[in-house]
Every structure is written in C-alpha cells, then in structure tokens.
Amino acid sequence: MNHHPSSAQSTNHLVILSRGEELISSLESFAAEQGLVGAWLAGLGGSMKLTLGFYDFEAREYLWKDFDGALEIVSLTGDMVILDGKPFWHVHGVFSGADYGAISGHVKSLTIGLTGELMITPLDAPLTRTYDETTGLKLIGTAS
C-alpha cells in the first residue's frame, strides 16, 4: 500500500493498492494507522478475486457470490465508522468483465488484480452504526 496526501492543503488521502493486496483489510489498517474516526471512500482499478453480496431483506441475510478472474473496478464507494473500537468499512462496488456487462453489490472481499486507486476523505465528526429493528442491520448515523 502506498499512501500520498492529495495535497498539502487537503485532508484527502490517495491510497494505491498493488496486485495481491486485499481491499478491506488494507482499508482497516490504513484507518487505524491514520486514527480516522469516520471517512468516505471513492475508488477504481482492477480485481482478480471478489466476493459480492446482496442483502435479502425478507431473510435478513446477505446472499454472497464469488467472482474469480480479472474484472475492472468501475467504481467503489463506501464509508467508515468505528465499530466495537475498530475501523469498519462499508463498501459497494460496480465491476465489469470482458463482456462489458456490469455486476455490483456489497463488497465482502476484493483482491487487487492490477491496481487499486482510492481517495479517502476523513470526516471530522465520528460516525456510528446502530442496530435497526426494521432492517436487521447496523445503520449509519452521527455520534451524539
């Protein structure tokens, strides 16, 4: 992982992941090293292994699907909160293969294939996640 502040006047961080690095664990390490209390993520690049999820509201569980092989990371977006004392990243992505068809979903894991080019914007106010009875998920909010 290479980290470059985007400019001397900006709090944004450009993080470059190399082939073989895992996205979520790299983001967790970066957030802990930087002492982030909340953040927003945007990114693109290429993957070689990916697990995506779709949340089945009725069953209250994620349906997971693995994708092996080269895919373009068309777009990654997400947020980070501190959950149980540790950085927790919630990331969604859109991906495309050689057929130019798109797949998308909640990113459970992603191994970088070519590169991962990420812009991380730290947030001043801590974000939290609180259990929501209606959805069965811990939903994001701001700290009181």
What pTM did the predictor assign?
A: 0.85
Confidence grade of residue 9 (pLDDT, cut at 50, 70, 90) = very low
Share of the chain above pLDDT 90, in %: 76
Confidence grade of residue 127 (pLDDT, cut at 50, 70, 90) = confident
Confidence grade of residue 69 (pLDDT, cut at 50, 70, 90) = very high
The domain locations on the chain are 2-142
Q: What pLDDT is attached to residue 7?
A: 44
pLDDT at 5 over 60: no
pLDDT digits (tens, 9 = 90+) for 22-57: 999 999 999 999 999 999 999 999 999 999 999 999
One-letter-per-residue 3-state SS of 91-119: EEEEEECCCCCEEEEEEEEEEEEEEEEEE
What CATH number matches the domain at 2-142, 3.40.50.460, 3.40.50.280, 3.30.1330.80, 3.90.950.20? Answer: 3.30.1330.80
pLDDT at 89 over 70: yes
Which of 82, 100, 72 shows the shortest CA–CA distance to 28? Answer: 82
